[in-house]
């Protein structure tokens, strides 16, 4: 793969009205230098994750156009959903795929932020490798308080946007953009409708762990007033309990470095933790696309044969991760390298 390729995965706060999403992704369809790889709409989350890949300048031009459409059609004043969010165009990450460096993706994110903030008076925060301060490295920190808390947060010196006005924009909210490594969004469903149980399992796995409390349920703090935390089992993992539907809770995760913490690692751990409280993991769900190597790693784990061909290992991964329990899982439509090859 010699072509210079960047992936961009904008998340839009609309997951119910297909006509709105169709309008938002039209600039991708219209640009021959960019491929639309995936559209993942979530009704309960009321959120859509769009995956595009292409030449760096073409991707930048296209996601700016998509942003313009989204800001015209999405009104955050009437938005509600399970997923944490703070804006109509909630997050716009740029990911190096082939022949492109991380620093180039940092530059793309900054140029994106400058463009949309100037054109639309949109407040923009830089995160991940583009962050100007350590406080803004992690997206959950920027999103804390969500859209509902943004009016008070954005006027503080601590949370002045990197670009755009330090002012609450009711229809748009705010956007985060940055450069990051390829992230895998992966969820595991449980046979319960109790979100608290899913969140309890998530707190044992995620890197940030859980807050330490005393016997009365009060948070225990150190001498500086900072809450003490029990560390989680895995590095480079974000996780929380969410609802897949009214009857099904899930552990919702972002795997930030899949070569360190893989799909099979978290799946097996969730199965073990669920069994301790009398539950079962019943299905796995990928949101967006997954790199081939992540599937091969899982396939080797479940199959035990390191030398098997790719097709066999991918099928073993699908079985072990339960990716075909909710719906048919087509690897040609879900594995990044195979999708690019087909397109």
The alpha carbon of residue 29 and the mean position of all alpha carbons in its chain are separated, in whole angstroms, by: 23
Residue 263 to residue 58: CA distance in whole angstroms? 32
Q: How far is CA 279 from CA 103, 198, 271, in A?
A: 44, 10, 8
User: Is 79 a known active-site residue?
Assistant: no
* Active-site entry in 79, 83, 264, 265: 83
> At residue 320, what are phi and psi to the nearest 5 degrees?
-65, -35
* Structure-token pair, residue 121: 């008076």
What DSSP designation does 90 have?
A: E
Task: Confirm if 298 and 317 have CB atoms less than 8 A apart.
Answer: yes
User: How far, CA to CA in Å, does 143 sit from each of 19, 124, 138, 177, 256?
Assistant: 27, 12, 9, 12, 17
Q: What is the rounded CA–CA span in Å between residue 317 and residue 190?
A: 19
Please list the active-site residues. Answer: 83
């Amino acid at each position: 793969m010699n072509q210079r390729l960047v992936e961009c995965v904008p998340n839009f706060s609309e997951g119910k009205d297909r006509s709105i999403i169709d309008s938002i992704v039209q600039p991708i369809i219209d640009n021959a230098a960019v491929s639309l790889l995936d559209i993942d709409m979530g009704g309960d989350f009321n959120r859509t994750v769009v995956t595009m890949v292409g030449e760096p300048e073409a991707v930048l031009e296209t996601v700016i156009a998509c942003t313009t459409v989204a800001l015209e059609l999405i009104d955050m004043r009437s938005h509600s959903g399970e997923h944490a969010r703070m804006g109509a165009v909630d997050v716009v990450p740029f990911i190096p795929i082939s022949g492109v460096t991380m620093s180039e993706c940092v530059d793309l994110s900054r140029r994106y932020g400058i463009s949309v903030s100037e054109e639309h008076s949109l407040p923009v925060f830089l995160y991940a490798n583009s962050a100007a301060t350590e406080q803004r490295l992690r997206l959950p920190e920027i999103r804390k308080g969500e859209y509902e808390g943004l009016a008070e947060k954005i006027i503080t010196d601590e949370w002045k946007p990197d670009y755009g006005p330090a002012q609450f924009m009711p229809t748009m909210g705010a956007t985060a953009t940055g450069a990051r490594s390829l992230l895998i969004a992966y969820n595991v469903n449980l046979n319960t409708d109790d979100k608290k149980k899913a969140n309890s399992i998530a707190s044992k796995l995620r890197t940030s762990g859980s807050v330490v409390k005393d016997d009365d349920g009060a948070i225990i703090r150190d001498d500086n007033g900072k809450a003490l935390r029990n560390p989680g089992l895995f590095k480079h993992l974000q996780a929380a309990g969410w609802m897949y539907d009214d009857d099904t809770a899930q552990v919702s995760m972002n795997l930030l470095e899949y070569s360190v913490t893989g799909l099979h690692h978290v799946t097996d751990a969730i199965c073990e933790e669920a069994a301790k409280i009398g539950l079962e993991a019943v299905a796995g769900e990928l949101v967006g696309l997954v790199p081939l190597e992540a599937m091969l790693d899982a396939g080797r784990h479940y199959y035990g044969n390191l030398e098997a061909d790719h097709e066999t290992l991918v099928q073993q991964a699908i079985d072990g991760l339960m990716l075909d329990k909710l719906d048919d899982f087509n690897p040609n439509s879900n594995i990044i390298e195979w999708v690019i090859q087909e397109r």
